[in-house]
Structure 1
Amino acid sequence: MTATADSPTVRLTARGAQTRERIVTAAAELMYVRGVGATTLDDVLAAGGVSKSQLYRHFAGKDEVVRAVVELMGQRVIEREQGTLGRVSTMADLREWRDALVEGNALRHGAYGCALGSFASEVADHDDVARSALLALFAEWEELLAGAMRRLRESGALPADAPVERLATGLLGALQGGYLLAQTARDVTPMATSLDMALAHIESLTTG
């Protein structure tokens, strides 16, 4: 079996790393907008400005490209959420997190949905490696939400017995469902409503 850049035994040169990055970035942009199934490797080659030999020097086929895209998109999402959820310590902060997500999605009228949710819907049933990576990313996202719930509890905004892990799961589910409904409707209103309902439940538990 031919080694690829995804193998731990392969060391990339600076030029090789740049080429790989162009491939993955181009594939990520195409797959997010068009979908994984509708994006061909020829599309990626054209968008990335690379040759077929360059692509196959780094990836054995489309599955490996998709897995690299999942890694890239996951990194972007988690870094964004670390920056916003990491600052949440009050209900007002949580509302600001909600507003930022809704406003960002409104800029494209709900189109394309959540990057991780969209990829999960396309690859989870067909690629266990990609599914496992997405599962870990969603778990990391859920833990960021749970961390925010814990800070609310520690500050006294939530009662000591507030089920922070369950609240985090419910909030992430409301967010992902909201993204899907907004994507289908091409209208961000269902996403805003889903999150508002989830936050209303959390607020109903507040002690202040």
Structure 2
Amino acid sequence: MTIADSTTTRRLTARGAKTRERIVTAAADLMYVGGVGATTLDDVVAASGVSKSQLYHHFTGKDAVVRAVIDLMGERVIERERDALGHVSTFAGLRRWRDALVQNNALRNGAYGCALGSFASEVADHDEIARRALSALFTEWQDLLSGVLRRLQDSGALPAEAPVEQLATGLMGALQGGYMLAQTAGDVAPMATSIDMALAHIESLSAQ
């Protein structure tokens, strides 16, 4: 389910869909790197190569563009996490997931942080529709982590009484906090440490 502005839900021609996609993709790149507040619609027009009238044909204003960007970024993140976590059922698999996230973030020395976290910090307090969409995306991501922990329970690697939902919340918190610390430090070491501490706690509950 997306939160795209209602003016974009009508049937689009192939050309119209391509134009809209160009606008949203350009806006996503600008807002992720430069921030939502610093990105103007004029910036989006220039980066996408469309006219302002074309932009307003598809979107009523900046809030609508931001919501479409959240849809796009959310789809990218959740698809990536489904691929990474969908079949993980061992602690070693969780560690590989951790390694991939840290290594990918290291390519930017922690810059820009998590796409969803960055958007949440800028818009959640000002746009209730966007806040709900971001909350749903974080819930979906956390559910993927819960699924891994349940599979660990099913295999006997975690005891049946392990609080799966709470552990998944803690792991998500460590991940998002780690992204923020890496961003401010310009170094992924704090991110690695944050996730490692959460995983070490989960592993300490391993059934004997």
TM range (shorter): over 0.9
Work out whether 1:101 is the aligned partner of 2:101: yes
Give the distance between the partners of 1:171 and 1:96, measured in 2 at CA.
Answer: 15
Deviation of the 1:11 alpha carbon: 1.1
Amino acid at match of 1:15: R
Task: Give matches, 1:8-27, under 5 Å.
Answer: 10-27=10-27
Runs of at least 5 residues in structure 1 that lack an aligned partner in the other structure:
none
Percent of pairs with identical residues: 76
Residue in 2 aligned with 1:144? 144
Spell out, residue by residue over 1:94-140, the C-alpha distance to the aligned partner (whole angstroms, 9 max, x if none): 00000000000000000000000000000000000100100100010
Deviation of the 1:6 alpha carbon: 3.3
Task: Give matches, 1:19-168, under 5 Å.
Answer: 19-168=19-168
Moved over 3 A (4+): 4-9
Alpha-carbon distance change, 147 to 129 in structure 1, aligned in 2, over 3 angstroms? same
Deviation of the 1:142 alpha carbon: 0.6
Give the distance between the partners of 1:104 and 1:119, measured in 2 at CA.
Answer: 19
Spell out, residue by residue over 1:61-93, the C-alpha distance to the aligned partner (whole angstroms, 9 max, x if none): 000000000000000000000001112100000
TM-score normalised by the chain length of structure 1: 0.96
Residue in 2 aligned with 1:173? 173
Spell out, residue by residue over 1:42-78, the C-alpha distance to the aligned partner (whole angstroms, 9 max, x if none): 1101110100000000000000000000000000000
TM-score normalised by the chain length of structure 2: 0.96
Give the distance between the partners of 1:122 and 1:84, measured in 2 at CA.
Answer: 27
Give the distance between the partners of 1:88 and 1:172, measured in 2 at CA.
Answer: 16
Report if the CA contact (8 A) 1:5-1:57 is conserved. Answer: no
CA RMSD of aligned residues (A): 1.2
State the secondary structure of the residue aligned to 1:32. Answer: helix
Give the distance between the partners of 2:123 and 2:26, measured in 1 at CA.
Answer: 18
Report if the CA contact (8 A) 1:5-1:12 is conserved. Answer: no
Give the distance between the partners of 1:188 and 1:9, measured in 2 at CA.
Answer: 40
- Work out the number of aligned pairs and report it: 205
Deviation of the 1:207 alpha carbon: 1.7
Report if the CA contact (8 A) 1:78-1:140 is conserved. Answer: yes
Deviation of the 1:7 alpha carbon: 3.8
Give the distance between the partners of 2:140 and 2:43, measured in 1 at CA.
Answer: 31
Report if the CA contact (8 A) 1:5-1:11 is conserved. Answer: no
